[in-house]
Amino acid sequence: ETGVTQTPRHLVMGMTNKKSLKCEQHLGHNAMYWYKQSAKKPLELMFVYNFKEQTENNSVPSRFSPECPNSSHLFLHLHTLQPEDSALYLCASSQDYDSTGELFFGEGSRLTVL
């Protein structure tokens, strides 16, 4: 239990579906992140939110749409995805963005796009 909870743990969707991934952190952190993890590749930073404001969008296609309603919750809305988007999507949080503190990760949402 890392204090970061992600749902669903597994998701299968067609290319025309719309779905959302949810992340919640119970650590009182101010920064939240979405990372994409593909087999044998480095974790790719997708989005960063600090105090609910998006501070980084790492050239992510618009079919991925983040939402951060408050410092404890982060969503990733998915629409018209491609099979190559199949991956593990990890949410993480840290005390602040511009600090040296470590990230706390959720267990991830395994996404399969058919």
Binding range to other proteins, per CB under 8 A, among 19-27, 61-69, 72-80, 98-106 = 98-106
Stretch that binds other proteins, among 19-27, 65-73, 79-87, 93-101 (CB under 8 A): 93-101
| Nearest Cα residue to 72 out of 102, 8, 27, 107 | 27
Site of tokens 């050239």: 59
84 binds other proteins per the rule CB under 8 A: no
Q: Which residue from 114, 97, 112, 108 is spatially nearest to 8, judged by alpha carbons?
A: 108
- Residue 62 or 100: the one with the smaller Cβ distance to other proteins is 100
Q: Which residues contact other proteins by CB under 8 A?
A: 2, 4, 40-43, 45, 56, 90, 97-100, 102-108
